[in-house]
């Protein structure tokens, strides 16, 4: 669940960088690329390319400020239903470019790349590239850059249940799985802390099948900003919002 932050006073809320140690994991849904492009009479691919650059800038900023994990919702399992033109651009051009750039930065900056989602539907070349980036950075000890690609929260939970059943059939699991940590060990995010903060741009306040188990107690922040317009200052605003929330986990917050 993460550590419980102190509640900021108004004067303290300006000193965001000094308080980032309380935010271990930030999950980001990069919404609004298509709307941003449409407002400029450009194709959706133009917005996606701009959004990828913003993502890279925000990841670098978060890493400098000491955030331990950043998860980017890059492509949902449901996104396969989009037009062949858009999916083709994302899979054949933008994703390979992004993984190459992220891998180079990760190797230079001691960042570990991780991926959650179902990689089998990806083009073989892209899948190999993703797996190579994971392998080349697996021993890095800095921030974890976690990409959600071809990802579905519901399918992840179903896969975990299937793995538990198979483990029981194989005799590797004998007792009941009634503990949350024991169940989480079968999820793709095993070893990562649950997100403290979820940022979803574009004024859309829903999870859209993103880490449904992991975000049970995550603070949700939905600014009315399209992702290609998101800045470091906006990231700071999101953290200020997080730091001002009493995280009770069902308990009574003591004033």
Q: Does residue 253 sit within a domain?
A: no
Q: Output phi, psi for 51, to 5 deg.
A: -60, -35
Q: Does residue 111 sit within a domain?
A: yes
Q: Which pLDDT band holds residue 16 (cuts at 50, 70, 90)? A: low
In the predicted structure, residue 176 carries a pLDDT above the cut 90: no
In the predicted structure, residue 116 carries a pLDDT above the cut 80: yes
Q: Does residue 14 sit within a domain?
A: no
Write out pLDDT tens, residues 198-233: 999 998 889 999 999 999 999 999 999 999 999 999
Residue 31 near residue 204 (C-beta atoms within 8 A): yes
In the predicted structure, residue 165 carries a pLDDT above the cut 70: yes
Structural Rg of the chain based on CA atoms = 19
Q: Does residue 15 sit within a domain?
A: no
Q: Does residue 172 sit within a domain?
A: no
Q: Which pLDDT band holds residue 179 (cuts at 50, 70, 90)? A: confident
* Active-site option among 24, 31, 194, 196: 31
Residue 19's pLDDT is 57
Question: In total, how many domains does the chain have?
Answer: 1
Which residues contact residue 172 at a Cβ distance below 8 angstroms, ignoring those fewer than 6 apart? none
Write out pLDDT tens, residues 64-91: 989 999 999 999 999 999 999 999 999 9
Provide the CATH number for the domain around residue 147: 3.40.1180.10
Four-point Cα dihedral 40, 89, 143, 28, nearest 10: 50
Residue 31's pLDDT is 96
Q: Does residue 179 sit within a domain?
A: no
Q: Does residue 252 sit within a domain?
A: no
Question: Is 128 known to be catalytic?
Answer: no
Indicate the pairing of strand 144-151 with strand 112-116: parallel
* Active-site option among 14, 24, 79, 181: 79
In the predicted structure, residue 41 carries a pLDDT above the cut 70: yes
Tokens of 92: 């054949």
Question: Is 205 known to be catalytic?
Answer: no
For residue 143, give its domain range.
20-152+192-243
Q: What is the DSSP letter of 194?
A: P
Q: Does residue 13 sit within a domain?
A: no
- Average pLDDT score, the chain: 90
């Amino acid at each position: 669940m993460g550590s419980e932050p102190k509640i900021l006073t108004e004067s303290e809320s300006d000193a965001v960088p000094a308080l980032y140690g309380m935010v271990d994991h930030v999950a980001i849904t990069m919404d609004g690329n298509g709307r941003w492009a449409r407002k400029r009479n450009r194709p959706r691919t133009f917005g996606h390319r701009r959004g990828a650059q913003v993502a890279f800038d925000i990841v670098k900023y978060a890493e400098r400020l000491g955030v331990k994990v950043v998860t980017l919702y890059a492509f949902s399992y449901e996104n396969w239903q989009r037009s062949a033109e858009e999916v083709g651009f994302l899979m054949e051009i933008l994703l390979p470019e992004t993984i190459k750039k992220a891998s180079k930065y990760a190797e230079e900056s001691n960042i570990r790349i991780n991926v959650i989602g179902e990689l089998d539907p990806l083009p073989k070349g892209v899948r190999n590239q993703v797996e190579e980036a994971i392998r080349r950075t697996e021993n890095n000890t800095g921030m974890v850059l976690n990409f959600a690609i071809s990802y579905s929260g519901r399918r992840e939970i179903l896969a975990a249940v299937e793995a538990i059943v198979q483990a029981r059939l194989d005799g590797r699991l004998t007792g009941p799985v009634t503990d949350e940590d024991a169940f989480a060990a079968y999820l793709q995010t095993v070893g990562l802390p649950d997100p403290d903060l979820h940022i979803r741009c574009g004024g859309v306040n829903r999870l859209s099948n993103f880490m449904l188990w992991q975000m049970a107690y995550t603070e949700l922040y939905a600014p009315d900003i399209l992702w290609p317009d998101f800045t470091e200052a906006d990231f700071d605003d999101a953290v200020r919002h997080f730091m001002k929330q009493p995280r009770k986990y069902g308990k009574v917050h003591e004033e």
